[in-house]
Amino acid sequence: MTFAQWMLTLAILVLVLLGLVLVVALMVYGERRFLALLQDRLGPNRAGPFGLLQPVADILKLLTKEDFVPPFADRKVYTIAPVIVPLTVLLSFAVVPVSKNWWLADLNIALLYVLALSSLRVYGIMLGGWASNSKYPVLGGLRAAAQMVSYELPMGLALVGVVMLSGSFSLVDIVAAQELPYILIQPLGFIIFLVCGIAETNRLPFDLPEAENELASGYNTEYGGIRFAFFYLGEYMGVLLIAALVTVLFLGGWNGPWLPGVVWFAVKTLALIFLFYWLRTSLPRLRYDQLMDCGWKLLLPAALINLLITAVLGLFWMKD
């Protein structure tokens, strides 16, 4: 690549990063507004018209806080851990196609690439909890590790049916193969992947690694300022990533009548993000034994059954 091509690539990456940060800021504002509506209260209404500048105020507050490292923490790991969470999510967005010919990279193993990065994400949470050298963060990190192991397996198995139907690991090819959205052909796989995605992002009712009434604030109890902002950014980027992946894998991606593809992609993704918000305000947190039972005793057998049904039906279709 020439110097001009490198600079162009760098400029595109910076624009994508700024765009994602802007979307996350709007997601935070939208969630607070939506929760306030459902809970019959005002929500943000002080910073700017309709409280639109509240995310800016929050960012400035976190950036100007004292950069403090607890004396009992492992300083190096404590500093690195928060960066891992948003970094893995950002790298995953490189292979997510937003519309026809709108993506940063079309890998033939894009789905495996995303699953690998989602497995690495939990290391940031685990290391953050362990490096804090405090009992509540350590318990939060251990919970995150157990939760990842319990839900990563059914999540991967739920996607095998999609790969069998499309014949490719490329997200672009998967969207192109959906003459009918795969939610109609793989409804069980859709439900399993969505539930596992909620668990992977540690959102209610699966937010056991934080669990304020049990662990103070869980793995990020000892974090503040810009380091806490990285964890916060990673969580909401994770929600956006899961919503985008569900759109690509099961809802036909950018496919839709009349409107441009990018609009269809945005509408479907936004609807799934609002589902995350609705679950947060509607469902209570699961007990830890219920969390484990759901992963191992319900979702894993259901994923295996879905895989078996897909294989049998695919065999008959191939014969036809």
Label residue 36 exposed, middle or buried (CB < 10 Å: 0-12, 13-18, 19+): middle
Note the pLDDT of residue 157: 92
Q: Are residues 187 and 252 in the same domain?
A: yes
What is the model's pTM? 0.90
Note the pLDDT of residue 318: 52
CA-to-CA distance for 182 and 299, rounded, in angstroms? Answer: 19
Q: Are residues 173 and 124 in the same domain?
A: yes
> pLDDT 10s digit of each residue in the chain, 320 long?
676 767 777 777 788 788 888 888 889 898 889 889 888 888 888 888 888 888 888 888 888 888 788 888 888 888 898 889 888 988 888 888 888 877 777 888 899 999 988 888 888 888 888 888 888 888 888 888 888 888 989 999 999 989 988 888 989 999 988 888 899 989 999 999 999 999 888 888 888 888 777 777 778 888 888 888 888 888 899 999 999 999 999 998 888 888 888 899 999 999 999 999 988 888 888 888 898 899 899 999 999 999 998 888 877 765 44
CA-to-CA distance for 110 and 297, rounded, in angstroms? Answer: 29
Q: Are residues 48 and 177 in the same domain?
A: no
| Per-position b or e across 59-68, b if 16+ CB within 10 A of its CB | beebeeeeee
CA-to-CA distance for 244 and 93, rounded, in angstroms? Answer: 9
Q: Are residues 47 and 103 in the same domain?
A: no
Place of tokens 């690694």: 209
Output the CA torsion 132→135→140→145 (10° steps). Answer: 80
Total domains, the chain: 2
Note the pLDDT of residue 225: 84
| DSSP output for 159-203 | HHHHHHHHS-S-HHHHHHT-SS-HHHH-HHHHHHHHHHHHHHTT-
Domain of 29, in residue numbers: 1-64
Q: Are residues 24 and 158 in the same domain?
A: no
Q: Are residues 93 and 56 in the same domain?
A: no
What contacts 297, CB < 8 A, 6 or more positions away? none
Note the pLDDT of residue 305: 93
Whether residue 70 is preceded by a cis peptide bond, meaning omega within 30 degrees of 0, is no
Which is nearest to 171 in space by CA: 257, 251, 268? Answer: 251
Last residue of a domain, one of 39, 64, 89: 64
Note the pLDDT of residue 320: 47
Q: Are residues 77 and 171 in the same domain?
A: yes
Sign of CA dihedral 141, 147, 152, 155: negative
Note the pLDDT of residue 246: 95
